[in-house]
Amino acid sequence: MSEEKKTPQSLPAAPAGEVLSTMRDDGSRVWLRPRISAGRFLKQRAVVAWVLMALFTVTPFIKMGGKPLFLFELATRRFIVFGTTFHADETLPLALLMLTTGVAIFLMTALLGRVWCGWACPQTVYMEFLYRPIERFFEGKHYKNPTRHEVPRWKVAAKYVVFGLISLHLANTFLSWFVGVDKVFLWTQQSPFARPQSFILVMATTAAIMWDFAFWREQMCTLACPYGRFQSVLLDRGSLIIGYDEERGEPRGSKKRLANQGIEAGDCVDCNLCVTTCPTGIDIRQGLQLECIACTQCIDACDAVMDKVSKPRGLIRYTTQNLLEGLPKKQVRPRVVIYPILLAVFFGGLLYVLANRADATLEVLRIRGRTPYATLDSGEISNLVHLRITNRTDQAETYEVRLIGDGRLITLQFPLRIDSDESADADIHVILPSTAFEGGRRAIQLELLAGNAIVDTTNKTVLGPLFANK
Ligand code: SF4
Ligand code: SF4
């Protein structure tokens, strides 16, 4: 058989020294067509996958207090998480939110290994439970032939049409997490010429999704995904992994053949099913590898073989490196002590910051290229101050601004009405007597009022003459 005609089943999976299981020595790609292995884990993963796909589709439609449950509006740098709006300038809550999420991922990985990759990552979920089944449906018994010469062309074309339609739907769903479902609906009803940028965005996202699921596939997990790259530092010897029991399985091979050589065979019959079912093309019998996304397909494949040869299940199973090496299960693992402490600190901090969050913020913006101050006919000193006010409440609000202490304000743009979660800029003039300045400077304090309530205060140093005119 020529190299080109080889099926994935006949190709060796990541022999020692090979860089990738999906690359031949000449650098060409090995197209994987993993065999599906029915089993208890596949059934459970299918349920989880369909629940997650439903959640991904439905969540953008869910509102909480009139706002989307989640919205990551990059254009306006506004993020809504569980109905709470964060603006990009809220560095502390955003930093705490990111730290909480990051440490939660670290903890989950330390305890449960790559459970995210195998059970919940959109790449795995959509690839294994939507795109791959569609491919199998169209290509039938020829599915495992990577050259696909025997599959009628119309079937291959039909498959790509269905892939395209699903990718278009996913692109719209994906974008609705970032621009809101209402905007996406509007775009779909308009001509592409009405909003060419939006049309290009949807088409580019569709093309990226199509390319990923139709062509890029497992390369996303093995080459591109940063989370996958971090596994070697996130896992330790007590983390849950999918492992092959070498003690029990080796020496592998036909019982009869090994007996003829005077060797007592292990439980592995060397059927290679755990390799041909692997979506990343690795052989788990070579030990834990970075490419293993913990999809459990090799467990299902091997359990079925063990049932057939009347051996106990679990030659490949969920385990830990310590357990595989016969070490005790319970050992103190510093990271599973440190991560929960960090998680409690960051999450507690986030709750505290959210509970004490101001309903509105008053910021003083820098003004460039203007005269710092002006002397009025009255002899008073006038400073122009540029303000930004952000309404962080769920309804529109009207604001006033007030100067604490001596002096007065000219506030032509106030009272200022601002919609929920919106910001508005306004200029005010701070008028102070020329005697108010020391060394040409004067610290002032401004208060922002909503009705009679003070919602924020800010400080500013304004400039004046070095020596007052008496
Ligand atoms: S499926 Fe099980 S028996 Fe077959 S090769 Fe893999 S480990 Fe061995
Ligand atoms: S080795 Fe097993 S669990 Fe890991 S990716 Fe391959 S089939 Fe999935």
Could you tell me if the CB of 422 is within 6 A of ligand 1? no
Could you tell me if the CB of 269 is within 6 A of ligand 1? yes
Q: How far is the CA of 315 from the centre of ligand 1 (A)?
A: 8
Instruction: Give, for 188, the enclosing helix (H) or strand (E).
Output: helix 181-189
Q: What is the pLDDT of residue 146?
A: 63
Residues 6+ apart with CB under 8 A from 399: 360, 389, 391, 414, 415, 416, 417, 418, 448, 449, 450, 455
Could you tell me if the CB of 296 is within 6 A of ligand 2? yes
Q: What is the pLDDT of residue 388?
A: 92
Q: Check: CB of residue 437 under 8 Å from CB of residue 381.
A: yes
Mean pLDDT estimate for the chain: 88
Could you tell me if the CB of 117 is within 6 A of ligand 2? no
Q: Tell me which ligand sits closest to the C-alpha of residue 243.
A: 2
Query: Pocket of ligand 1, candidates 37, 254, 255, 274: which has the most ligand atoms within 8 Å of its Cβ, to mutate?
Result: 274
State the pLDDT confidence band at 306, using cuts at 50, 70 and 90: very high
Residue nearest to atom 8 of ligand 2 (CA): 295
Q: What is the pLDDT of residue 13?
A: 42
Arithmetic mean of pLDDT, 337-341: 94
Q: How far is the CA of 150 from the centre of ligand 2 (A)?
A: 28
What number does the ligand 2 atom closest to the CA of 274 have?
Answer: 7
**Structure token pair of residue 157:** 């074309």
Q: Which amino acid is at 272?
A: N
Residue nearest to atom 7 of ligand 1 (CA): 268
Q: How does pLDDT run across 384-414, given as a tens digit for each residue?
A: 999 999 998 878 999 999 999 888 999 888 8
Residue nearest to atom 2 of ligand 1 (CA): 302
Q: How does pLDDT run across 58-76, given as a tens digit for each residue?
A: 999 998 877 889 999 888 7
Q: What is the pLDDT of residue 149?
A: 67
Q: What is the pLDDT of residue 405?
A: 86
Q: How does pLDDT run across 217-247, given as a tens digit for each residue?
A: 999 998 889 888 887 788 888 889 999 999 9
Could you tell me if the CB of 275 is within 6 A of ligand 2? no
Could you tell me if the CB of 271 is within 6 A of ligand 1? yes
Instruction: Walk across the sheet containing 416-418 and list its strands.
Output: 416-418, 397-404, 441-450, 453-463
The 3-state DSSP composition of the chain as helix, strand, coil percent (nearest 5) reads 45, 20, 35
State the burial class of residue 57 (Cβ atoms within 10 Å of its Cβ: 0-12, 13-18, 19+): middle
Residue with tokens 């979920």: 125
Arithmetic mean of pLDDT, 327-348: 87
More confident residue, 331 or 449: 449
Q: Decide if pLDDT at 53 tops 60.
A: yes
What number does the ligand 1 atom closest to the CA of 298 have?
Answer: 1
What number does the ligand 1 atom closest to the CA of 272 have?
Answer: 5
More confident residue, 161 or 256: 161
Residue nearest to atom 4 of ligand 1 (CA): 271
Give me the percent of the chain exceeding a pLDDT of 90: 55
State the pLDDT confidence band at 2, using cuts at 50, 70 and 90: very low
Q: Hey, how many other C-beta atoms are within 10 angstroms of the C-beta on 66?
A: 9
Could you tell me if the CB of 301 is within 6 A of ligand 2? no
Q: Please list the residues that pair with 318 across neighbouring strands.
A: 242
Q: Decide if pLDDT at 211 tops 60.
A: yes
What number does the ligand 2 atom closest to the CA of 299 have?
Answer: 2
Q: How does pLDDT run across 125-171, given as a tens digit for each residue?
A: 999 999 999 999 999 877 777 666 688 889 999 999 999 999 999 99
State the pLDDT confidence band at 36, using cuts at 50, 70 and 90: very high
Q: Tell me the domain boundaries of the chain.
A: 28-91+115-219, 360-463
Arithmetic mean of pLDDT, 99-120: 93
Q: What is the pLDDT of residue 176?
A: 95
What number does the ligand 2 atom closest to the CA of 316 have?
Answer: 2
Q: How far is the CA of 299 from the centre of ligand 2 (A)?
A: 8
Could you tell me if the CB of 265 is within 6 A of ligand 1? no
Q: How does pLDDT run across 450-461, given as a tens digit for each residue?
A: 988 899 999 999
Q: How far is the CA of 398 from the centre of ligand 1 (A)?
A: 70
Residues 6+ apart with CB under 8 A from 291: 14, 20, 21, 218, 221, 222, 280, 281, 282
State the pLDDT confidence band at 470, using cuts at 50, 70 and 90: low
Q: What is the pLDDT of residue 20?
A: 74
Q: What is the pLDDT of residue 81?
A: 85
Q: What is the pLDDT of residue 27?
A: 80
Residues 6+ apart with CB under 8 A from 78: 71, 85, 86, 87, 88, 421
Q: How far is the CA of 246 from the centre of ligand 1 (A)?
A: 11
Arithmetic mean of pLDDT, 187-194: 88
Largest CA distance in the chain: 115
Assign domain 360-463 one CATH number from 3.40.640.10, 1.10.3210.10, 2.60.40.10, 3.40.50.150. 2.60.40.10
Could you tell me if the CB of 234 is within 6 A of ligand 1? no
Q: What is the pLDDT of residue 94?
A: 87
Q: What is the pLDDT of residue 19?
A: 63
Q: What is the pLDDT of residue 7?
A: 37
Could you tell me if the CB of 316 is within 6 A of ligand 1? yes
Q: Residue 355 and residue 353: Cα distance in Å, rounded?
A: 5
Residue with tokens 């309903």: 359
Could you tell me if the CB of 282 is within 6 A of ligand 1? no
Q: How far is the CA of 413 from the centre of ligand 1 (A)?
A: 76
Residue nearest to atom 1 of ligand 1 (CA): 302
Could you tell me if the CB of 270 is within 6 A of ligand 1? yes
Phi and psi, residue 115, nearest 5°: -60, -35
Q: Check: CB of residue 13 under 8 Å from CB of residue 282.
A: yes
Q: Residue 400 and residue 394: Cα distance in Å, rounded?
A: 18
Q: Decide if pLDDT at 184 tops 80.
A: yes
pTM, two decimals, is 0.79
Sign of the CA dihedral 48, 51, 55, 57?
positive
